[in-house]
Structure 1
Amino acid sequence: MGGSMAESRKIIKVFLASPGDVVDERKLAKVAVDEVNQLVAEDYGYQLELVGWEDTTAAAGRPQALINTELERCELFVGIMWKRWGTPPDKNGRFTSGFEEEFRLSVDRYKKDGKPDISLFFKDIDPELTRDPGPGLQRVLDFKQEITDGKEILYETFSESDSFEKRLRRCLVSYLKRLRDAERSASTSVSNAPLEHGGQRANEKEKGSPQSSLSNESGHFLREFLSKVEKGENSKQSARDVARFRLLGTTVGSQENDDSVLGVHDCNLLFSIDPTNEFGETELRALLRAGLEHFSGESAPVWCWLKALGGLKSDELLYRSIIGRSGGRNAAALNAMRLLGERISARQLENRSMFVDAWLSSSSAVKQAALAYLGEYGVGADIDLIRAEYDINDYQTRKSAAEAIVRINLRESRDLAIRSLYELQPTSTDKSLVDSLFRNPESIPRELLIEGVNHSDVHVRTAAVSGARRLGLLTVELAQKLLTDADVAVRLLGLEALVDAGLPVADEQAKSTLVNGVRQPGLLGLGGGAAISYFEKYRRYYSMSQSPADLERLAASPDIIFDGHPYFALVSKRFSKYGRELRQAIDDGFENFIESRIQMMEKVFGEGSESFAKLRNLKKSLVSEFMDLGISLLCEKSQSEDIARVRNALRAEGKGGDFRRDLIEFLGRHGEWSDIRLIVENSDLSDYSTRSLLSQARSEKYLVCADAILSISRGRFADVVQIEMGGDLLAALIAKSKDKDFKSLSDEAIFSFLNSKDDSVRRVAALKLIRVSPRSRVILILDRYLNSGDTWYYNVVHWLDMSISLPRDRVHLAVDKLLTGN
């Protein structure tokens, strides 16, 4: 592909004009031109040729006149100015410097012929020099002011030579893009002249016909299509033919047209014909653009067109990440590269900085995609460019830039990654990244771990404090300091550290530290089984720190009904002794337990007192709270004899309670086939603990339920998926199923998934099919799928196409990422 295009490249001359004080910039201009030629000029069909005074052949006569001859052949004028204006080209001329003559002649020619394009670059000048500039510098300042006031010629400023090289590269690529767009209409348009028999144009001579950019087949199709239109045979045009005609329309355009691409339905219609044989290179590129345009929706084929254009070996995605007028397609190309593990190829390594700079100089969408890509596949050489983006302090990219730097450093050393995290001080960091950094804190230098206690990101502070506490590094002074932290979770860790040190904080002070501003779900913080409040977490932790003797004394007091944690801590520590008592209390709904304590309180208040009447009114809430705590303790002990009690608790929750993870996990360990229906019924209860599944917002409860169901079913996966359940749970079951179990399903079962009304079910089923099946099976299923009816789902085609079109190792890498939500 690359060789044939190189042979037909059009030479574009670029004239470089400057006085003699920008020698370094002139050398870098040559570097920039060479890089653009190597990376994008071939794709556009052009070759840049740099022209300047160094390239003018020595000959007799006026030197500037020879330079001007070269200038007249150039299509792009690039001027560089710093402190010097230069010397007059001759004694009696009207120009004060060679640069001025080159610039003025270019402006005159542009006004007359529309060429050359003019770009100017001014290097920053030390302000001290402008106080007394002298005649040469003053001419430069006056010239810059003239350009500014004229508002007709755009210019850029730069401070360092490296930044000039980046700006010039962007200028050259932008010019080539404009040139290609302007010429595309002339190079790909088809004559509207009437067609004679056999498709020959009535006014076209047989010889001297222009070379078409269409393939022979495409030209034949277009002539046949237009012939039917002219004959009024529109009814004979199929939907696929209309889609093909629209495709050809997207390959023709100019700057004045919208940058449109083929629609989703037409893309899928064209895929269903024959994804490779019928289309020429121009059409394939248009189809690839369309696939990338719709990439985020996973609704259009893209992989087959990539394969037809040379596949991953062609660097096609890499080019697509920087060329074209759609930042969305550039971002999609980067996302596809990240998904497939496509690194910058060895032949492009020397130009790596150019790609990274182009990405980080683009739109926010491209920057975000680039930073995610670099976080996964970046190298140390990328860090300076990423750091420059971070220092811009753009709220849309700052977090991603920081994470990219940390992830790159993590591939070299965890300590280096943590230090970079401390240096950057992002206020928000992906929790999974923080967890990976602070996992196994024993291997982190102690000083480095303690330093994280003061980090600006609460996730980092929490991880550092947890690790330091685990290793016994939190002093009493540091623990007390944590009590004033802005985050309640960190304050709780400080209180627990004081408990570890034998200095527990009184309840009132703990409430003041934790509960203020935090909503409490219920009397004991367990309203309907919801998450325990932070104060209740502290009470539980403190109770577990006490001795059995102290807990027995507290449990014997009637006041235990107002704080059950000492009682349940006692049962937990002495379960062999008190477990039977707990089960009896649960079996009677804690009625006798609470009633006996209320009667003990009667002796204090008196039965007819107002205080006792209020206490009686609290009995129902007290019973509910103790039941929740008791069932939670049974789930923690996880003994099979408690299965009936857990089932009863789940049935009670199913009548209006909240999702209880501990109950579902208990059934997963000890349940039977009949319990699967109970799990399904509870899977739709409210749950406020969420995480991602398959890159979409999904509640963690479906993953918990899927694990429990699969544990109970033990190899009966084909029977499990026949049970009626919601799409979210079914998708989680498919995702978590063993490969061998999914592979054993019949084609009919798989087709039922691929035709599901739930998008997530179709998606995960297609991915699982790719993971477990040989390419030959996927081809047969896709062929049957496309021909089994008038309707098919686009995301199924999108992913099965990937399996058929790309190398198996890349496909499996992508599927693993998608199924795990990474």
Structure 2
Amino acid sequence: MANSRKIIQIFLASPGDLQNERQTAKLVVDAFNKRWADWFDIQIELVGWEDTFKRFGRPQAQINLDLDRCEAFIGLMWRKWGTPPGGDYTSGFEEEFERALASRMKSTRPEMTLFFKKIDDEFLKDRGPDLNRVLAFRQRVIEEQQILFHDFENLKDFEDKLNDWITHYVKHLKKLEDTTAKADEKAPSLGSVPEKSEATNSSDTLLSPQGAQFLRHFVAKTERDQKAHPIEAVDVARFRLLAGMIGVASNDEDFLGTHDANLLFQSRDALDLSRREMMGLVDSGLDSIASETIPFWHWYDTVKGGDRSYLCVSTLVGPQGQRVGALIAMRLIGEPIVPLEPLGPDDETAKRSFFTSTWLSSRSSERLKTAALQYLSACGEPEDLPALKGEYDKRNYQTAAAAADAIIRINLRLSREPEDLERIRGVVSSGFANFSMLDIEFLRKHGEWQDISLLISMLDRPDTSATLLGGILDDRTLEAVAQAVYAIGKSRFSELCKEKMPPRLLQRILGLASDKEVVGLSDQELTEIYHSDETHVRKAILLKSVRALPKTRLKRLLKEQLTQDRLRYYNVSYWLDLGITLTRKQVLHVLEMSSRKP
């Protein structure tokens, strides 16, 4: 992929007293390129006076030409101001800074930032002319409030802060660059309009060739008579997808609506989407994965190819909603943390702890931390326990419970003593009052078909032993009734599903059904339940469907769902797509995760 990367030149300006920092900056950029260049399709090239010196003996005019070609400017300052280059400026750094600032004021380019190294008190006592100029410059930057700057104390602090800035900068650039690796894909068929005659370098454009061609067709359609050349809903959906993808840093985060995403999924076989467009659909799916209304798994499977680290990396970069979604997706399919390729023996970012420390850092939102804790609760390892205990010890009311749950579940997975699990079950179930369970249990063992209506009616009876735990007691009663009704009616399961009962009871009964009983339902019977007004009823039968039904039947049911004229529910498309796309092992893990309450 190296030949399709966008090269971003960053100019590094500093006086001569920061040689170690300049070498560190070079190492930071090299490490960033090795780690992330393929992911972002962007490679950083650091430009400085050293390069000019090798060729031309360091003439300032040539350095300025190198500066003018750069997209970003990084300035380093400590105690020295620098030597005069000749002309109106007192140092080469001053000329480079003023030149970059003037260009930025005219064209918003280059992006600029400054790093000031901490000055020890002993130097402040006897400043001298150089240090006075440095301090005056720093004060000017503070007062003008035009350039973001950072203070650092040592090389490690500088390395961390520079890496953060470069990562943040490139993440914004990602929206602006054409990251497709398939520039030779065919353009979409949306009618015929003349091609643009001028050539364009696809690596410098905001859109892929497919996206740009589609937009030309789309705009041409808007100028025609709408009765003769109507615009299809799927075309509008793709237009919105592309519009969201070309936003710049000052725009809102891009977001594709649920209906548009489903329209594009419905027409996926007829559309010639670029890789970048499919990545946009992956991002939209991650944004909405918790709602289970946008088909995500098809686009994810298509885009990731053989890259096992795709979701892992997605938890580290991008908008918060997508990072949270990536953690949810990893939890659902049991995706392990895939360590990054080490850059050296002491490279911390190649370790598992790099992921957990990033997820749980002070810079992460509580929402991201909670998603990470829920993932670690399901997939955590013993080595994650120190980070989890550290989060729990913070006593943050928004994350403490999730951290405690993760610690408990990891310890349970380590334990081979059955009494440990039984002890926790006893704690969870303690304190419940007896709510006439003997009657329900008796009917479960000895009841007949006509007793089903009696059991259902018990849910509407007043609770004569109501306490502050009434809500929990009602839930236990519901579960007990569901068990009894299912025990009586499972031999006539298709008839049982048609019995008049509260949706919450039908949901529980569907959850108890065996694979054989679900397979025995006809397509029409399944479709009728898929169209229940209750989301939880639909999800219960969908979870059973993706577990029990072969992919050929799931495809047939999805086709029926997408082509029928009646009202469609998007979580039906989501789950059927999941069952069709994922492997059997992944589907089973999703079902296990879905049965747990986060």
Q: TM-score range by the shorter chain?
A: 0.7 to 0.9
What's 1:720 paired with? 496
Please give the residue correspondences for 1:97-176 in structure 2 after superposition, counting only pairs within 5 Å: 103-111=97-105, 114-122=108-116, 132=125, 134-135=127-128, 143-158=137-152, 162=156, 164-176=158-170
From the superposition, tell whether residues 102 and 200 of structure 1 become closer, same or farther in structure 2 (CA, over 3 Å): closer
What's 2:33 paired with? 37
Q: CA deviation at 1:779?
A: 0.8
Distance 2:327 2:270 in 1: 24
Decide whether the 8 Å contact of 1:79 with 1:119 is kept in 2. yes
What amino acid is the match of 1:760?
H
Q: Secondary structure at the match of 1:171?
A: helix
What's 1:306 paired with? 300
What's 2:4 paired with? 8
Please give the residue correspondences for 1:536-555 in structure 2 after superposition, counting only pairs within 5 Å: none
Distance 2:298 2:490 in 1: 38
Q: Give per-residue Cα distances to partners, 1:561-588, cap 9 Å, x unaligned.
A: xxxxxxxxxxxxxxxxxxxxxxxxxxxx
Distance 1:233 1:813 in 2: 48
Q: Secondary structure at the match of 1:11?
A: strand
Distance 2:134 2:376 in 1: 41
Q: CA deviation at 1:256?
A: 4.9
Q: Give per-residue Cα distances to partners, 1:727-769, cap 9 Å, x unaligned.
A: 1111111112222222222222212211111111111111110
What's 1:200 paired with? 194
Distance 1:26 1:748 in 2: 69
Q: CA deviation at 1:315?
A: 3.9
Which of 318, 321, 344 in structure 1 is aligned with 2:312?
318
Which has the larger displacement, 25-34 or 381-390?
381-390
What's 1:283 paired with? 277
Q: Give per-residue Cα distances to partners, 1:45-69, cap 9 Å, x unaligned.
A: 3211233466565357358777666
Q: Give per-residue Cα distances to partners, 1:586-631, cap 9 Å, x unaligned.
A: xxxxxxxxxxxxxxxxxxxxxxxxxxxxxxxxxxxxxxxxxxxxxx
Please give the residue correspondences for 1:424-439 in structure 2 after superposition, counting only pairs within 5 Å: 439=421
Q: CA deviation at 1:302?
A: 1.3
Which of 253, 268, 271 in structure 2 is aligned with 1:259?
253
Q: Give per-residue Cα distances to partners, 1:611-670, cap 9 Å, x unaligned.
A: xxxxxxxxxxxxxxxxxxxxx6xxxxxxxxxxxxxxxxxxxxxxxxxx644543343344
Q: CA deviation at 1:785?
A: 2.2
Q: CA deviation at 1:345?
A: 2.6
Q: Secondary structure at the match of 1:679?
A: helix
Decide whether the 8 Å contact of 2:317 with 2:323 is kept in 1. yes
Q: Does 1:748 align with 2:524?
A: yes
Distance 2:10 2:313 in 1: 22
Decide whether the 8 Å contact of 1:240 with 1:266 is kept in 2. yes
Decide whether the 8 Å contact of 1:340 with 1:811 is kept in 2. yes
Decide whether the 8 Å contact of 1:291 with 1:301 is kept in 2. yes
What's 1:370 paired with? 372
Q: Secondary structure at the match of 2:294?
A: coil
Q: CA deviation at 1:119?
A: 1.8
Q: Secondary structure at the match of 2:54?
A: coil
What's 2:443 paired with? 667
Which has the larger displacement, 174-183 or 401-410?
401-410
Gaps of 5+ in 2: 180-190, 343-348
Q: CA deviation at 1:327?
A: 2.0
Q: Secondary structure at the match of 1:745?
A: coil
Q: Secondary structure at the match of 1:752?
A: helix
From the superposition, tell whether residues 229 and 59 of structure 1 become closer, same or farther in structure 2 (CA, over 3 Å): closer
Gaps of 5+ in 1: 186-196, 416-435, 442-458, 467-488, 493-530, 533-631, 633-658, 693-697
Please give the residue correspondences for 1:586-597 in structure 2 after superposition, counting only pairs within 5 Å: none
Q: Secondary structure at the match of 1:683?
A: helix
Q: Secondary structure at the match of 1:724?
A: coil
Asked which structure has the greater CA Rg, the reply is 1
Decide whether the 8 Å contact of 2:49 with 2:58 is kept in 1. no
Decide whether the 8 Å contact of 2:16 with 2:82 is kept in 1. no
From the superposition, tell whether residues 108 and 714 of structure 1 become closer, same or farther in structure 2 (CA, over 3 Å): closer
Q: Give per-residue Cα distances to partners, 1:35-93, cap 9 Å, x unaligned.
A: 43345444443211233466565357358777666444432233445xx5137436989
Which has the larger displacement, 810-819 or 115-124?
115-124
What's 2:184 paired with? none
Decide whether the 8 Å contact of 1:14 with 1:48 is kept in 2. yes
Distance 1:393 1:65 in 2: 58
What amino acid is the match of 1:680?
I
What's 1:515 paired with? none
Distance 2:141 2:383 in 1: 37
Q: Secondary structure at the match of 1:115?
A: coil
Q: Give per-residue Cα distances to partners, 1:683-706, cap 9 Å, x unaligned.
A: 3556846679xxxxx934333322
Which has the larger displacement, 174-183 or 6-15?
174-183
Which has the larger displacement, 705-714 or 52-61?
52-61
What amino acid is the match of 1:720?
L
Distance 1:23 1:408 in 2: 47
Q: Give per-residue Cα distances to partners, 1:95-151, cap 9 Å, x unaligned.
A: 77766665455445544554332223345567x658847547776655544432332
What's 1:790 paired with? 566
What amino acid is the match of 1:208?
A
Q: Give per-residue Cα distances to partners, 1:330-361, cap 9 Å, x unaligned.
A: 21122112211222335557545665565443
Please give the residue correspondences for 1:640-719 in structure 2 after superposition, counting only pairs within 5 Å: 660-684=436-460, 688=469, 699-713=475-489, 715-719=491-495
Q: Secondary structure at the match of 2:167?
A: helix
Higher relative contact order (CA 8 A, sep 6+): 2
Q: Does 1:327 align with 2:337?
A: no
Instruction: Provide TM-score, normalisation by structure 1.
Output: 0.59
Distance 1:114 1:99 in 2: 20
Please give the residue correspondences for 1:576-591 in structure 2 after superposition, counting only pairs within 5 Å: none
From the superposition, tell whether residues 699 and 23 of structure 1 become closer, same or farther in structure 2 (CA, over 3 Å): farther
Please give the residue correspondences for 1:320-469 in structure 2 after superposition, counting only pairs within 5 Å: 320-324=314-318, 326-348=319-341, 350-351=349-350, 356=356, 359=359, 360=361, 361-378=363-380, 394-401=396-403, 404=406, 439=421
Distance 1:215 1:49 in 2: 24
Which of 51, 63, 69 in structure 1 is aligned with 2:47?
51
Instruction: Provide TM-score, normalisation by structure 2.
Output: 0.79
From the superposition, tell whether residues 393 and 240 of structure 1 become closer, same or farther in structure 2 (CA, over 3 Å): same
Distance 1:383 1:146 in 2: 47
What amino acid is the match of 2:366?
S
From the superposition, tell whether residues 412 and 24 of structure 1 become closer, same or farther in structure 2 (CA, over 3 Å): farther
Decide whether the 8 Å contact of 2:171 with 2:317 is kept in 1. yes
Q: CA deviation at 1:216?
A: 7.1
Q: CA deviation at 1:381?
A: 6.5
Decide whether the 8 Å contact of 1:85 with 1:97 is kept in 2. no
What amino acid is the match of 2:256?
L
Distance 1:133 1:396 in 2: 50
Q: Secondary structure at the match of 2:293?
A: coil
Q: CA deviation at 1:771?
A: 0.6
Q: CA deviation at 1:707?
A: 2.1
From the superposition, tell whether residues 374 and 134 of structure 1 become closer, same or farther in structure 2 (CA, over 3 Å): farther
Distance 1:138 1:215 in 2: 51
Distance 2:416 2:165 in 1: 39
RMSD over aligned Cα, in angstroms?
4.4
Q: Secondary structure at the match of 1:721?
A: helix
What amino acid is the match of 1:710?
Y
What's 1:296 paired with? 290
What's 2:511 paired with? 735
Q: Give per-residue Cα distances to partners, 1:698-735, cap 9 Å, x unaligned.
A: 93433332222233345443333232111111111111
Q: Does 1:76 align with 2:76?
A: no
Q: Secondary structure at the match of 2:595?
A: helix
Decide whether the 8 Å contact of 2:80 with 2:134 is kept in 1. no
From the superposition, tell whether residues 51 and 367 of structure 1 become closer, same or farther in structure 2 (CA, over 3 Å): farther
What amino acid is the match of 1:265?
H
Distance 1:380 1:88 in 2: 53
Q: CA deviation at 1:264?
A: 1.5
Q: Secondary structure at the match of 1:147?
A: helix
Aligned pairs, how many?
A: 569
